[in-house]
Amino acid sequence: REDALHCSGCGVKLQGEDSSKPGYIPTQALEREPIICQRCFRIKNYNEASSVTVEQSEFLRLLGQIAEKKALVVHIVDLFDFQGSVISGLQRFIGNNPVLLAVNKTDLLPKVSNWNKIRNWVQKEAKDMGLKIEDVILCSAKQNSGFDRLLDAVVRHRGNRDVYVVGATNVGKSTLINRLIREYSDLDQELTVSRYPGTTLDMVHIPLDDGGAIIDTPGIVYPSRYSELVSAQDLGIIMPDKSLKPAVYQLNEGQTIFFSGFGRFDFIQGERQSFTCFNSSRIKLHRTKLERADELFADHAGELLAPPSRDNLEKLPEWTRHEFKIAKGQKVDVFISGLGWVKVNNDMGAVIAVHVPKGIKVMLRPSLI
């Protein structure tokens, strides 16, 4: 039967192979009525959103369908991986619908941060990346902070629009949706998952008490983020879980810092100056001479320079080198998507290089802190 192949909740095509992809259903669940995917099942029975992921092209196809709806788009990004988790093409796909930018994981920044400055930075960076944003809300799903402001902003901008929540993987989307569900729907009542008539959207439609709905979209996978490349075990190393403790280094030209065995930062040319590393505390920073760096890595990757283990290292793409000339007067971070960033503290100019597996986004950006 044709309809047996689709979820009667979200309409996605059902599959039994990969629980992290849309439409997953365990074989035994095929006997239940109605037949719904695991993601819809969990929302319906446990009021709980769970993460599923899709490739970028598939995601953009999904996004395109938002353009025709009356939508309020809540775009969640990860403050630790801002440039890596922003959906830069978002605006082209969603038409004139308004966007709220929820910047999650503020708990990871040092507590003494200047939040006004960070808000302005976010606003400017988002604008430069082509996003038109109604409002920026800084929040932490983990600390439960900023949600009141996010809910206020949703109420203020929503009118009679449905709320579409979009984001890259691992930004905290599920955590946030669960909060929204709890806020907006009657918990004693089983949620119904209702199908959009006629379309296959791969989006879970969560009806709210007031007649509107929250729509959970799959998390988008960007292969340019380190967090997408590493093993689950190494992900727990590179993703910080508490507020960053910046490490300051005074470097002479010709010195290198290794980030465990995940990558390295070379100070190639310039006057002696200071650099600050913002990484997970489980990454070991190892300073050495630039002229020894290649050899050190060849001999000690997976041991002195670990994790990743030799085995896991072999599963990653080969390292590639990104060189940057930082002009006098430029105040920048050297950003490595998913791994963190190095702040260039003095604006006296420098030539630096970063080595990381091929494909990972590395760039200069105006310094965040």
Residues of the shown chain interacting with ligand GDP in the complex, contacts defined by CB under 6 A: 51, 104-105, 107-108, 140-142, 167, 169-175, 219, 241
Q: How far is the CB of 258 from ligand GDP (least distance, A)?
A: 25
Q: How far is the CB of 172 from ligand GDP (least distance, A)?
A: 3
Q: How far is the CB of 217 from ligand GDP (least distance, A)?
A: 11
Cβ proximity to ligand GDP: between 6 and 44 the closer is 44
Decide: residue 304, CB within 10 A, 0-12 exposed, 13-18 middle, 19+ buried: middle
* CA pair distance 5, 182, nearest whole angstrom: 31
DSSP one-letter code for 342: E
Cβ proximity to ligand GDP: between 176 and 326 the closer is 176
Cβ proximity to ligand GDP: between 105 and 225 the closer is 105
Q: How far is the CB of 241 from ligand GDP (least distance, A)?
A: 6
Tokens 């913002």 found at:
278
User: Which regions of 27-70 does DSSP assign to beta strands (E)?
Assistant: 53-55
For 60, residues 6+ apart whose C-beta sits below 8 A from its C-beta are 89, 93
Q: How far is the CB of 79 from ligand GDP (least distance, A)?
A: 9
Cβ proximity to ligand GDP: between 105 and 205 the closer is 105
Q: How far is the CB of 359 from ligand GDP (least distance, A)?
A: 20
DSSP one-letter code for 366: E
* CA pair distance 258, 353, nearest whole angstrom: 12
Cβ proximity to ligand GDP: between 183 and 347 the closer is 183
Q: How far is the CB of 219 from ligand GDP (least distance, A)?
A: 5
Q: Helices in 219-305 by DSSP H: which ranges?
A: 226-229, 232-238, 290-300
Q: Which helix (H) or strand (E) segment is 265 a member of?
A: strand 263-269
Cα–Cα nearest to 154, from 208, 110, 205, 192: 208
Cβ proximity to ligand GDP: between 206 and 251 the closer is 206
Cβ proximity to ligand GDP: between 21 and 300 the closer is 21
Residue nearest to ligand GDP (CB): 172
Question: Which tokens hold the place of 39?
Answer: 């993601």
Cα–Cα nearest to 191, from 202, 201, 177: 177
